[in-house]
Chain A
Amino acid sequence: QSALTQPASVSGSPGQSITISCTGTSSDVGSYNLVSWYQQHPGKAPKLMIYEGSKRPSGVSNRFSGSKSGNTASLRISGLQAEDEADYYCCSYAGSSTWVFGGGTKLTVL
């Protein structure tokens, strides 16, 4: 069970859009539409932003959206705001009642 692969960092200017990728295998991301995304500000607990690949929990801005193609899931943040600066983690069901996280991506709002 290997960690999902995410870029170490991404950046964007306020108002722009960015996309964070999360690459797994045909055993996890590719086999299930069960990817979730979490936002983590420094020193804080992770917060669920996207579940089942593209669904937003109540209260999460519609600037956050998720998608999947093959073995890669993606998180898109549009209209970047200063408060979006945080670490982002993906997580996928990996079969056999196991779950695997990505290594995390640091988003910098320039």
Chain B
Amino acid sequence: QVQLQESGPGLVKPSETLSLTCVVSGYFISSGYYWGWIRQPPGKGLEWIESMYHSGNTYYNPSLKSRVTISVDTSKNQFSLELSSVTASDTAVYYCARHLVGATEAFDIWGQGTMVTVSS
């Protein structure tokens, strides 16, 4: 059973960099699939951020691309998101998910989400 678990700081100051990690269990990310990040501001809808393959191939939301950095650590079976120069509008629940790119294009397995607040 594939499971994803996000972790992060909870609180980030404006202009700093938000860093999140998603640990995958039940499947080796080096075996395939894309792995993505989606966020949801409080009371608002979902926004796709990026999706990456273990080899490093990555697709980005054009509106966030300039501030997003991704990385993958196959030895720890985890992938990470960094979002730079954050503002209050980056306050959201951040989800990681398995993304079936090149197949159904759906996000079929999601983590429980981690809340990040941007505030001084």
Contact = CB atoms under 8 A, between A and B. Distances in A.
Interface of A: 1, 3, 32, 34, 36, 38, 44-48, 51-52, 55, 57, 89, 91, 93, 97-104
A68 B46 CA distance: 21
B44 to A, nearest CB: 8
B46 A91 contact: yes
B62 A46 contact: no
A3 B45 CA distance: 9
B48 A101 contact: yes
Contacts of A36: 104-107
A103 B39 CA distance: 12
Contacts of A100: 48
Contacts of B100: 51
B79 interface: no
Interface of B: 38, 44-48, 51, 59, 61-63, 95, 100-101, 104-108, 110-113
B48 A99 contact: yes
A47 to B, nearest CB: 7
Given A1-B62, A98-B59, A98-B61, A91 B106 contact: yes
A103 B62 CA distance: 18
A103 B45 contact: yes
A46 B46 contact: yes
A100 B105 CA distance: 11
A57 B45 contact: no
B112 A45 contact: yes
A100 B111 CA distance: 19
A48 B99 CA distance: 11
